[in-house]
Chains A and B, each alone.
Chain A
Protein backbone atom coordinates (compact mmCIF):
# COMPACT_ATOMS: atom_id res chain seq x y z
CA UNK A 1 0.00 0.00 0.00
CA UNK A 2 1.25 3.48 -0.80
CA UNK A 3 -0.47 6.67 0.26
CA UNK A 4 0.11 9.79 -1.79
CA UNK A 5 -0.75 13.19 -0.32
CA UNK A 6 -1.21 15.93 -2.89
CA UNK A 7 -2.08 19.60 -3.03
CA UNK A 8 -1.59 22.42 -5.49
CA UNK A 9 -1.85 26.17 -5.55
CA UNK A 10 -0.59 26.90 -2.06
CA UNK A 11 0.36 30.39 -3.31
CA UNK A 12 2.70 31.11 -0.44
CA UNK A 13 3.44 34.76 0.17
CA UNK A 14 5.78 36.47 2.56
CA UNK A 15 2.78 36.86 4.87
CA UNK A 16 2.07 33.11 4.85
CA UNK A 17 4.62 32.36 7.56
CA UNK A 18 2.95 30.24 10.24
CA UNK A 19 -0.26 29.78 8.23
CA UNK A 20 0.55 26.72 6.10
CA UNK A 21 2.49 24.66 8.62
CA UNK A 22 -0.51 23.65 10.81
CA UNK A 23 -2.20 21.99 7.85
CA UNK A 24 0.64 19.51 7.44
CA UNK A 25 1.28 18.55 11.05
CA UNK A 26 -0.10 15.01 10.68
CA UNK A 27 0.56 14.34 7.03
CA UNK A 28 3.47 12.00 7.81
CA UNK A 29 1.05 9.73 9.70
CA UNK A 30 -1.34 9.61 6.80
CA UNK A 31 0.86 9.48 3.71
CA UNK A 32 4.17 8.22 2.37
CA UNK A 33 4.97 11.19 0.16
CA UNK A 34 3.69 14.67 -0.59
CA UNK A 35 3.14 15.98 -4.12
CA UNK A 36 2.93 19.72 -4.81
CA UNK A 37 1.13 20.57 -8.04
CA UNK A 38 2.56 23.99 -8.80
CA UNK A 39 1.77 27.61 -7.96
CA UNK A 40 3.74 27.19 -4.80
CA UNK A 41 4.24 30.95 -4.62
CA UNK A 42 2.11 33.97 -5.45
CA UNK A 43 4.45 35.71 -7.84
CA UNK A 44 7.57 33.56 -8.08
CA UNK A 45 9.49 35.73 -5.64
CA UNK A 46 12.39 33.84 -4.02
CA UNK A 47 11.34 35.16 -0.61
CA UNK A 48 7.96 33.52 -1.11
CA UNK A 49 9.69 30.25 -1.96
CA UNK A 50 11.72 30.52 1.24
CA UNK A 51 8.53 30.93 3.26
CA UNK A 52 7.09 27.83 1.61
CA UNK A 53 10.17 25.77 2.42
CA UNK A 54 10.05 26.93 6.03
CA UNK A 55 6.38 26.03 6.30
CA UNK A 56 6.99 22.54 4.89
CA UNK A 57 10.29 21.92 6.66
CA UNK A 58 8.80 19.62 9.32
CA UNK A 59 6.61 17.55 7.04
CA UNK A 60 8.82 14.49 7.45
CA UNK A 61 8.02 13.02 4.03
CA UNK A 62 9.60 13.04 0.59
CA UNK A 63 8.27 16.16 -1.14
CA UNK A 64 8.05 16.33 -4.91
CA UNK A 65 6.86 19.37 -6.84
CA UNK A 66 6.31 20.93 -10.20
CA UNK A 67 6.25 24.68 -10.66
CA UNK A 68 3.18 26.56 -11.84
CA UNK A 69 2.63 29.71 -13.87
CA UNK A 70 2.71 31.90 -10.76
CA UNK A 71 6.16 30.56 -9.95
CA UNK A 72 7.36 31.99 -13.29
CA UNK A 73 5.85 35.46 -12.85
CA UNK A 74 8.95 37.18 -11.52
CA UNK A 75 11.19 35.56 -14.10
CA UNK A 76 13.18 33.99 -11.27
CA UNK A 77 11.94 30.41 -11.61
CA UNK A 78 15.47 29.00 -11.61
CA UNK A 79 16.10 30.66 -8.27
CA UNK A 80 12.78 29.43 -6.92
CA UNK A 81 13.64 25.90 -8.01
CA UNK A 82 17.08 26.12 -6.39
CA UNK A 83 15.61 27.31 -3.08
CA UNK A 84 13.09 24.47 -3.08
CA UNK A 85 15.70 21.86 -3.91
CA UNK A 86 18.14 23.15 -1.30
CA UNK A 87 15.33 22.59 1.19
CA UNK A 88 14.88 19.01 0.01
CA UNK A 89 11.85 19.52 -2.23
CA UNK A 90 12.52 17.75 -5.51
CA UNK A 91 11.29 19.76 -8.50
CA UNK A 92 10.44 17.94 -11.73
CA UNK A 93 10.20 19.41 -15.22
CA UNK A 94 10.17 16.71 -17.85
CA UNK A 95 11.88 14.52 -15.29
CA UNK A 96 11.00 11.57 -13.10
CA UNK A 97 11.91 10.10 -9.76
CA UNK A 98 11.29 6.78 -8.02
CA UNK A 99 10.59 6.25 -4.33
CA UNK A 100 10.32 3.02 -2.37
CA UNK A 101 7.59 3.12 0.23
CA UNK A 102 7.04 -0.06 2.20
CA UNK A 103 8.20 -2.22 -0.66
CA UNK A 104 6.06 -0.46 -3.25
CA UNK A 105 8.00 1.41 -5.92
CA UNK A 106 6.22 4.60 -6.93
CA UNK A 107 7.41 6.67 -9.85
CA UNK A 108 6.51 10.29 -10.36
CA UNK A 109 6.96 12.11 -13.65
CA UNK A 110 6.39 15.84 -13.57
CA UNK A 111 5.93 18.84 -15.76
CA UNK A 112 4.33 22.22 -15.33
CA UNK A 113 2.46 21.60 -18.56
CA UNK A 114 0.84 24.46 -20.44
CA UNK A 115 -2.32 25.48 -22.24
CA UNK A 116 -3.83 25.13 -25.69
CA UNK A 117 -7.26 23.73 -24.99
CA UNK A 118 -9.02 20.48 -25.57
CA UNK A 119 -10.16 18.32 -28.43
CA UNK A 120 -12.48 20.16 -30.76
CA UNK A 121 -11.63 23.58 -29.33
CA UNK A 122 -7.89 23.85 -29.19
CA UNK A 123 -5.15 26.07 -30.50
CA UNK A 124 -3.16 24.74 -33.43
CA UNK A 125 0.43 25.03 -34.54
CA UNK A 126 -0.49 27.40 -37.42
CA UNK A 127 -0.26 31.06 -38.33
CA UNK A 128 1.64 33.70 -36.44
CA UNK A 129 4.95 32.86 -34.80
CA UNK A 130 3.44 33.69 -31.42
CA UNK A 131 0.67 31.11 -31.87
CA UNK A 132 3.13 28.52 -33.08
CA UNK A 133 5.37 29.21 -30.09
CA UNK A 134 2.42 28.82 -27.73
CA UNK A 135 1.35 25.46 -29.11
CA UNK A 136 4.87 24.17 -29.61
CA UNK A 137 5.69 24.92 -25.99
CA UNK A 138 2.84 22.68 -24.87
CA UNK A 139 3.85 19.99 -27.34
CA UNK A 140 7.40 20.05 -26.04
CA UNK A 141 6.38 19.79 -22.39
CA UNK A 142 3.85 17.04 -23.11
CA UNK A 143 6.45 15.11 -25.05
CA UNK A 144 8.94 15.40 -22.21
CA UNK A 145 6.27 14.30 -19.73
CA UNK A 146 5.52 11.21 -21.79
CA UNK A 147 9.22 10.37 -22.04
CA UNK A 148 9.60 10.80 -18.29
CA UNK A 149 6.64 8.49 -17.69
CA UNK A 150 8.07 5.86 -20.03
CA UNK A 151 11.34 5.96 -18.09
CA UNK A 152 9.33 4.70 -15.12
CA UNK A 153 8.33 1.40 -16.71
CA UNK A 154 8.70 -1.34 -14.11
CA UNK A 155 7.58 0.62 -11.06
CA UNK A 156 4.45 -0.47 -9.18
CA UNK A 157 2.64 2.87 -9.33
CA UNK A 158 3.22 5.57 -11.92
CA UNK A 159 1.95 9.12 -11.29
CA UNK A 160 1.93 12.13 -13.63
CA UNK A 161 2.26 15.40 -11.72
CA UNK A 162 1.35 18.62 -13.52
CA UNK A 163 0.14 22.13 -12.85
CA UNK A 164 -2.02 22.58 -15.96
CA UNK A 165 -5.01 20.31 -16.52
CA UNK A 166 -4.94 17.36 -18.93
CA UNK A 167 -8.73 17.11 -19.27
CA UNK A 168 -11.76 19.39 -19.33
CA UNK A 169 -13.65 17.44 -16.67
CA UNK A 170 -11.61 18.86 -13.81
CA UNK A 171 -12.10 22.46 -14.93
CA UNK A 172 -15.57 22.45 -13.38
CA UNK A 173 -17.14 25.89 -13.38
CA UNK A 174 -14.17 27.75 -14.81
CA UNK A 175 -15.36 30.03 -17.65
CA UNK A 176 -15.29 28.22 -20.99
CA UNK A 177 -13.50 31.21 -22.50
CA UNK A 178 -10.35 30.50 -20.50
CA UNK A 179 -10.21 26.71 -20.94
CA UNK A 180 -7.35 27.02 -23.47
CA UNK A 181 -5.31 28.77 -20.76
CA UNK A 182 -6.01 26.11 -18.17
CA UNK A 183 -4.72 23.00 -19.87
CA UNK A 184 -4.30 20.87 -22.94
CA UNK A 185 -5.43 17.54 -24.32
CA UNK A 186 -1.79 16.94 -25.25
CA UNK A 187 -1.05 16.40 -21.56
CA UNK A 188 -3.76 13.70 -21.40
CA UNK A 189 -2.20 11.98 -24.41
CA UNK A 190 1.13 11.99 -22.61
CA UNK A 191 -0.50 10.54 -19.48
CA UNK A 192 -2.20 7.80 -21.49
CA UNK A 193 0.75 6.92 -23.70
CA UNK A 194 3.13 7.02 -20.76
CA UNK A 195 1.06 4.47 -18.84
CA UNK A 196 0.29 6.52 -15.72
CA UNK A 197 -2.02 5.17 -13.01
CA UNK A 198 -2.98 8.63 -11.78
CA UNK A 199 -2.67 12.21 -13.02
CA UNK A 200 -2.52 15.04 -10.50
CA UNK A 201 -2.85 18.72 -11.36
CA UNK A 202 -3.86 22.11 -9.97
CA UNK A 203 -4.29 25.56 -11.59
CA UNK A 204 -8.10 25.52 -11.99
CA UNK A 205 -9.32 27.05 -8.72
CA UNK A 206 -12.96 26.84 -9.78
CA UNK A 207 -12.53 23.35 -11.11
CA UNK A 208 -13.80 19.97 -10.00
CA UNK A 209 -11.71 17.33 -8.28
CA UNK A 210 -12.35 14.28 -10.43
CA UNK A 211 -11.92 13.44 -14.07
CA UNK A 212 -10.52 10.76 -16.33
CA UNK A 213 -8.38 10.79 -19.46
CA UNK A 214 -9.65 9.32 -22.73
CA UNK A 215 -7.47 6.31 -21.94
CA UNK A 216 -9.13 5.78 -18.55
CA UNK A 217 -6.49 7.23 -16.22
CA UNK A 218 -8.00 8.94 -13.15
CA UNK A 219 -7.30 12.68 -13.02
CA UNK A 220 -7.47 14.64 -9.77
CA UNK A 221 -7.44 18.43 -9.49
CA UNK A 222 -5.87 19.12 -6.10
CA UNK A 223 -5.87 22.91 -6.28
CA UNK A 224 -6.42 23.90 -2.67
CA UNK A 225 -9.53 25.99 -3.44
CA UNK A 226 -11.02 22.83 -4.97
CA UNK A 227 -10.18 20.28 -2.31
CA UNK A 228 -10.68 22.81 0.53
CA UNK A 229 -8.22 21.00 2.74
CA UNK A 230 -4.50 21.22 3.31
CA UNK A 231 -4.11 18.14 1.07
CA UNK A 232 -5.89 15.00 -0.07
CA UNK A 233 -4.59 11.45 0.14
CA UNK A 234 -4.81 8.86 -2.64
CA UNK A 235 -3.86 5.30 -1.76
CA UNK A 236 -2.76 2.46 -3.99
CA UNK A 237 -2.22 -1.21 -3.60
CA UNK A 238 0.86 -1.39 -5.82
CA UNK A 239 0.16 -4.83 -7.23
CA UNK A 240 -3.43 -3.90 -8.03
CA UNK A 241 -2.27 -0.82 -9.86
CA UNK A 242 -0.11 -2.96 -12.07
CA UNK A 243 -2.90 -5.46 -12.63
CA UNK A 244 -5.29 -2.69 -13.59
CA UNK A 245 -3.15 -1.75 -16.56
CA UNK A 246 -2.07 -5.24 -17.57
Chain B
Protein backbone atom coordinates (compact mmCIF):
# COMPACT_ATOMS: atom_id res chain seq x y z
CA UNK B 1 0.00 0.00 0.00
CA UNK B 2 1.39 3.40 -0.87
CA UNK B 3 2.10 5.72 2.02
CA UNK B 4 0.14 8.93 1.50
CA UNK B 5 0.83 10.85 4.70
CA UNK B 6 4.17 12.45 5.51
CA UNK B 7 4.87 13.80 8.99
CA UNK B 8 7.34 16.62 9.39
CA UNK B 9 8.75 17.44 12.83
CA UNK B 10 11.26 19.73 14.44
CA UNK B 11 11.40 23.27 15.75
CA UNK B 12 11.03 26.53 13.90
CA UNK B 13 11.37 30.09 15.13
CA UNK B 14 8.24 31.71 13.66
CA UNK B 15 4.75 30.75 12.44
CA UNK B 16 5.81 31.96 8.99
CA UNK B 17 8.62 29.43 8.90
CA UNK B 18 6.21 26.77 10.08
CA UNK B 19 3.93 27.49 7.13
CA UNK B 20 6.94 27.52 4.83
CA UNK B 21 7.79 23.99 5.97
CA UNK B 22 4.39 22.78 4.77
CA UNK B 23 4.78 24.52 1.42
CA UNK B 24 8.28 23.15 0.91
CA UNK B 25 7.18 19.62 1.79
CA UNK B 26 4.21 19.85 -0.59
CA UNK B 27 6.53 20.98 -3.34
CA UNK B 28 8.93 18.13 -2.73
CA UNK B 29 6.23 15.48 -2.34
CA UNK B 30 3.27 16.46 -4.52
CA UNK B 31 0.10 14.49 -3.81
CA UNK B 32 1.12 13.53 -0.28
CA UNK B 33 -0.74 14.67 2.79
CA UNK B 34 1.69 16.73 4.86
CA UNK B 35 1.28 16.57 8.63
CA UNK B 36 3.26 19.52 9.90
CA UNK B 37 4.09 18.75 13.52
CA UNK B 38 6.83 21.30 13.83
CA UNK B 39 6.75 23.42 16.97
CA UNK B 40 7.20 27.17 16.98
CA UNK B 41 9.79 28.02 19.59
CA UNK B 42 10.38 31.69 20.13
CA UNK B 43 13.87 32.12 21.47
CA UNK B 44 13.27 35.64 22.72
CA UNK B 45 14.42 36.54 26.19
CA UNK B 46 11.67 36.75 28.82
CA UNK B 47 10.19 40.13 29.62
CA UNK B 48 12.10 42.05 32.31
CA UNK B 49 10.45 41.60 35.68
CA UNK B 50 8.87 38.34 34.60
CA UNK B 51 10.78 36.27 37.14
CA UNK B 52 8.88 33.75 39.18
CA UNK B 53 9.54 34.34 42.87
CA UNK B 54 10.05 30.97 44.48
CA UNK B 55 10.17 31.90 48.16
B53 touching A235, Cβ below 8 Å: yes
A19 CB contact (under 8 Å) in B43, B44, B50 = B43
B46 touching A232, Cβ below 8 Å: yes
Expressed in whole angstroms, the Cα–Cα distance for A198 and B43 within the complex equals 24
- Given A205-B39, A225-B39, does the pair A232, B45 have CB atoms closer than 8 Å? no
B43 touching A229, Cβ below 8 Å: yes
A233 touching B55, Cβ below 8 Å: no
B49 to chain A, nearest CB (A): 9
Q: Does B52 contact A (CB under 8 A)?
A: yes
B45 touching A3, Cβ below 8 Å: no
B52 touching A235, Cβ below 8 Å: yes
B39 touching A233, Cβ below 8 Å: no
Residues of chain A within 8 A (CB-CB) of B13 are 19
A32 to chain B, nearest CB (A): 11
B54 touching A235, Cβ below 8 Å: yes
Expressed in whole angstroms, the Cα–Cα distance for A229 and B44 within the complex equals 5
Residues of chain B within 8 A (CB-CB) of A232 are 46, 52
Closest to B46 in A: A229
- Chain B interface, >50% SS class: loop
Q: Does A134 contact B (CB under 8 A)?
A: no
A3 touching B51, Cβ below 8 Å: yes
Expressed in whole angstroms, the Cα–Cα distance for A228 and B47 within the complex equals 12
Q: Does B11 contact A (CB under 8 A)?
A: yes
Interface flags, B17-55, vs A, CB<8A=1, else 0: 000000000000000000000011111111010111111
B43 touching A224, Cβ below 8 Å: yes
Closest to A206 in B: B39
Closest to A11 in B: B11
List the one stretch of A76-84, A144-152, A162-170, A236-244 in contact with chain B.
A236-244
Residues of chain B within 8 A (CB-CB) of A75 are none
Closest to B48 in A: A30
Output the residue of A22, A233, A235, A244 with the most chain B CB within 10 A: A233
A225 touching B11, Cβ below 8 Å: yes
Residues of chain B within 8 A (CB-CB) of A25 are 45
Residues of chain A within 8 A (CB-CB) of B40 are 228
Interface residues of chain B, those whose CB is within 8 Å of chain A, are 11, 13, 39-46, 48, 50-55
